[in-house]
Copies of this chain bind each other. A is one copy, B any other.
Amino acid sequence: MADGSEPRVGDQRPGGRAARVRDAVLAATTELLDEGGYDAVTYEELARRAGVHKTTVYRRWPSRAELVADALDLHSEEAIPIPDSGSFVGDLRLLAHAVAANISSEAGARRSTSIVAAAIADADVADTVRRFMSRRIAIAQPIVERAIARGEIGDAADPHIVIESLVGPIWFRLLLTGEPLDPPFLDALADAVASR
């Protein structure tokens, strides 16, 4: 800060200093996740990169799991926009490609797999990851609701299960089989989900 003081995180004016600090801390969190995985996220290094006191970070995010969840929320909003292409299969293809791109790049795989490992090792992290994933699935459900409204699919389709059916096999390849997340697979998967 120019006056040498830190921004107050309690200051909630949109676009104010607190918002800038929040964004800087969360961006630094994603950076660290991408560079070194979950274990690389330390309050010391975060504070250094975001240019704030460590206590500022602790005050706002007493738990690393919550900090990581907020960083993932912000990152996902940008990296995985929910498509609205006008067709069900088009939306599913776009979503499949975005999810795959986000978790299968070298940095994205490091971020994603290290968070899964942390969740397996620690019940608090697992809870946080679960809430994050539930939010992401909920955010994507309008893809299905719009397809139902357009009459492309019947209204018996469960939006939640449809999104899980698209996203689940992508994570399955990343975590279990290591098979490529390439366009032919992603399109075939989206087409199969769309044709139910």
What does the 1/0 interface line of A172-186 toward B look like (CB < 8 Å)?
110111110000010
Bound together, the chains give a CA A177 to CA B171 distance in angstroms of: 12
Give chain B residues whose Cβ lies under 8 Å from the Cβ of A126: 178
Copies in the complex: 2
Q: Is the interface of A mostly helix, strand, loop or mixed?
A: helix
CB nearest neighbor in B for A164: B169
Interface segment among A12-20, A45-53, A77-85, A114-122: the answer is A114-122
Query: A165 contacts B171, CB within 8 Å?
Result: no
A74 within 8 A of B: no
Contact residues of A with B, CB < 8 Å?
A: 113-114, 116-117, 119-121, 126-127, 129-130, 133-134, 137, 158, 161-162, 164-165, 167-173, 175-179, 185, 188-189, 192-193, 195-196
Query: A165 contacts B137, CB within 8 Å?
Result: no
Bound together, the chains give a CA A119 to CA B172 distance in angstroms of: 13
A75 to chain B, nearest CB (A): 16
A52 to chain B, nearest CB (A): 31
Query: A189 contacts B165, CB within 8 Å?
Result: yes
- Chosen A-B contacts, 23 in total, with CB atoms closer than 8 Å, are A113-B120, A116-B116, A116-B120, A116-B176, A117-B117, A117-B120, A119-B175, A127-B178, A130-B177, A130-B178, A133-B177, A134-B177, A134-B179, A137-B177, A161-B169, A161-B185, A164-B173, A165-B192, A168-B172, A169-B169, A169-B172, A171-B171, A192-B196
Query: A175 contacts B175, CB within 8 Å?
Result: yes
CB nearest neighbor in B for A116: B175
Bound together, the chains give a CA A115 to CA B189 distance in angstroms of: 26
Give chain B residues whose Cβ lies under 8 Å from the Cβ of A168: 168-173
Extra pairs beyond A130-B176, A167-B172, A171-B176 (4, CB < 8 Å)? A116-B120, A127-B178, A130-B179, A169-B169
